[in-house]
Structure 1
Amino acid sequence: MSEIPVIDLSKAPGERAAWDRPGWVVYLWAVCELLFVTNAWQISSSLRIRVLRAFGAEIGDGVVFRPRTRVKFPWKLHIGDRSWIGEGVWFHNQDHIWVANDVVISQETFLTTGSHAHRRDMALVTRPIHIEAGAWVTSRCVVVGGTRIGRSALIRPLSLIDGRSVPAGEVWGGNPLAFVGERFARSTS
């Protein structure tokens, strides 16, 4: 067993590699996130969105942003018009997350763009997430970096979307992720 290496984590590159902002901005965001975004009180969605936009998030019109959500770096979050972000959704976005128009991301879903170079030095490795118009990521899913969810695709509850592309209009689910069927009946005429 002694021939299996152990990475000395005290020498691992730090998390600040993903900040893209001065430390004071990141810490100020942490306070504002706690008070206005993660806060479980039923304060208005529009107040959450105004605070996120003040820190650089691009959020379209008519978006609903429910309580207990978390956003690691708002300046790396892009959400189109009329999308719904459910209670407890966590955008752990060390890279950009692109959510198009009319997307639903349901309760307790975790989206993470970061991982680590686990065979080398545990340095941060990031890949963006893209969720196309009309998609629905249902409750308690995990979406990892490199994922692209196609137009009007549906992801079933408790699924792991592992960095692959999910085709438009299809239903996928599970862990491992598997095709379930078509979301909408196809016309035969």
Structure 2
Amino acid sequence: MSDIPVIDLSRAPGERAAWGRPTWQVYLWAVCELLVVTNPWQISSSLRVRVLRAFGAQIGRGVVFRPRTRVKFPWKLHIGDRSWVGEGVWFHNQDHVYVGDDVVISQETFLTTGSHAHRRDMALITRPIHIEAGAWVTSRCVVLGGSRVGRSALIRPLSLVDGCTVPDGEVWGGNPIVALGPRFPQEAVDE
């Protein structure tokens, strides 16, 4: 027998703690998400946005929402004006996700606000994500709860934003994520 404990997952608290809506509404959203939002057909971006708004998402003007996207709980999604959400982006938002104006979240990026108390009882733990105006989270990144991507910051492809704060106007990338330099070098801004 090992002295290393095993957590009994049947006793893990919080399965529905993050829902924030009645069961019927969560299930109705699942159907609408499948038919309109996750649908791979090139149907209208504005139709996706209208359905998300109908379920409580706060989405600004001129937002582009590409096919095959997923949104766990639209009532916990806040997107500013003119932002672009690329194909296959997944908002696994058990807590709120705040996206500013003119933000790009590129293809296959996964944003998750939830984790678990892995040393205790596997209870759900959530923290919001903040992506400030003008930021670009490039393709196939993972953004964890508690992360803040600063104004006009850029996250390189395949990076893990692990709950840290990425300063305004900087390029960061990798796993572990590190600063790579300014997004707009001074000589480029002066031209």
How would you bin the TM-score normalised by the shorter chain? over 0.9
Query: 2: CA distance between counterparts of 1:174 and 1:11?
Result: 36
Moved more, 59-68 or 14-23: 14-23
Amino acid at match of 1:88: G
Aligned pairs (5 A) from 1:135-174: 135-174=135-174
Structure 1 segments unaligned to the other structure (5+ residues): none
Query: 1: CA distance between counterparts of 2:148 and 2:26?
Result: 27
Query: 2: CA distance between counterparts of 1:11 and 1:178?
Result: 38
Aligned pairs (5 A) from 1:117-136: 117-136=117-136
Instruction: Kindly state the Cα deviation for residue 82 of structure 1 after the two structures are TM-superposed.
Output: 0.1
Amino acid at match of 2:184: F
2:186 counterpart SS class: coil
Q: Quick check: 1:113 aligned with 2:95?
A: no
Query: 1: CA distance between counterparts of 2:5 and 2:15?
Result: 23
2:17 counterpart SS class: helix
Q: Quick check: 1:39 aligned with 2:39?
A: yes
Query: 1: CA distance between counterparts of 2:58 and 2:119?
Result: 35
Runs of 4+ deviating beyond 6 Å: none
Query: 2: CA distance between counterparts of 1:82 and 1:161?
Result: 23
Structure 2 segments unaligned to the other structure (5+ residues): none
Query: 2: CA distance between counterparts of 1:175 and 1:126?
Result: 22
Percent identity over the alignment is 83
2:179 counterpart SS class: strand
Match of 1:24 in 2: 24
TM-score, with structure 1 as normaliser? 0.98
Deviations along 1:118-144, whole A, 9 cap, x unmatched? 011100000000000000000000000
Match of 1:6 in 2: 6
Amino acid at match of 1:181: G
Instruction: Kindly state the Cα deviation for residue 13 of structure 1 after the two structures are TM-superposed.
Output: 1.3
1:62 counterpart SS class: coil
Instruction: Kindly state the Cα deviation for residue 64 of structure 1 after the two structures are TM-superposed.
Output: 0.2
Instruction: Kindly state the Cα deviation for residue 14 of structure 1 after the two structures are TM-superposed.
Output: 3.9
Query: What is the RMSD computed on CA atoms of the aligned residues?
Result: 1.1
Query: 2: CA distance between counterparts of 1:11 and 1:145?
Result: 24
Match of 1:185 in 2: 185
TM-score, with structure 2 as normaliser? 0.97
Aligned pairs (5 A) from 1:75-86: 75-86=75-86
1:17 counterpart SS class: coil
2:16 counterpart SS class: helix
Instruction: Kindly state the Cα deviation for residue 185 of structure 1 after the two structures are TM-superposed.
Output: 1.7
Query: 1: CA distance between counterparts of 2:127 and 2:12?
Result: 19
